[in-house]
């Protein structure tokens, strides 16, 4: 019987700052169209003024670009 194959690691751990963006929900989606509400939910927001950290990918950037009036990208504080 052949030996079992070793599984490859598909996701390697990255540093917290590399490849991520922080997004803050700054305006209510009550009067926004349903599609905008779904984008807010898809980004993982549950409360107003909440900050979430997501991978910096074109799909996440596109979601943020779809609702620029509801969210903003938070710049990380400079160390020093």
Q: Are 24 and 71 in contact (CB under 8 A)?
A: yes
Helix, strand or coil, per DSSP, at residue 37: helix
Cα–Cα distance measured from residue 45 to residue 16, given in angstroms and rounded to the nearest whole number: 19
Q: Residue 72: beta bridge partners?
A: 24
CA distances from 14 to 28, 44, 55 (A): 32, 21, 11
**24-77 residue pLDDT tens:** 999 999 999 999 999 999 999 999 999 999 999 999 999 999 999 999 999 877
Average pLDDT over residues 9-37: 80
């Amino acid at each position: 019987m052949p030996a079992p194959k070793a599984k490859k690691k598909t996701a390697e751990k990255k540093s917290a700052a590399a490849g991520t963006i922080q997004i803050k929900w700054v305006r209510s989606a009550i009067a926004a169209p349903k599609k905008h509400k779904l984008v807010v939910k898809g980004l993982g927001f549950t409360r107003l003024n909440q900050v979430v950290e997501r991978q910096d990918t074109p799909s996440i950037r596109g979601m943020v670009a779809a609702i620029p009036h509801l969210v903003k990208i938070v710049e990380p504080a400079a160390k020093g």
